Amino acid sequence: MADIQTQLEEHLKNGKNWEKMKTPVPGVGITKVPGTKSRPPMLFLAINPVNEDGSPMKRKDLFVKNKRELVKFSELLTDDKVLQLINELEAVNPSKKKKEAKKLKM
């Protein structure tokens, strides 16, 4: 089996734009992002937590291109004030009602 860096270099060189590569970490993948006028194509971590059944929790991934961004996101997500804010949002937002299947009356 090829080492991780070799596999990533291969994906960067030969992968299609926006092509995803799975990783052994649930909710974390690698996506090839196309280049622009000012930067070449790059690989980004694509983060999207998964439910108990393995399906993504969000429609879109969070793209992280370097360790600095990852550390900053981690700091924000573990900040006590952010936890307090999300608790307040949950208290204010309407709760999602479970839809019951319609039943035919006979």
Structural domain count of the chain? 1
Residue 21 in domain: yes
Q: What is the pLDDT along the chain (106 residues), one digit of tens a residue?
A: 569 999 999 999 999 999 999 999 999 999 999 999 999 999 999 999 999 998 999 999 999 999 999 999 999 999 999 999 999 999 999 987 766 777 777 7
Q: Quote the Cα angle for 98-89-85, to 5°.
A: 145
Residue 86 in domain: yes
Task: Tell me which residue range forms the domain holding 64.
Answer: 4-92
CA 11 vs. chain centroid, Å, equals 19
Q: Which structure tokens are listed for 2? A: 């090829």
Measured distance CA(79)–CA(73) in Å, rounded = 10
Residue 28 in domain: yes
Residue 11 in domain: yes
Q: What is the pLDDT of residue 106?
A: 72
Global confidence as pTM:
0.78
Measured distance CA(34)–CA(29) in Å, rounded = 16
Q: Number of H helices and number of E strands within the chain? A: 3, 4
Residue 104 in domain: no
Residue 73 in domain: yes
Residue 99 in domain: no
Q: What is the pLDDT of residue 104?
A: 73
Residue 25 in domain: yes
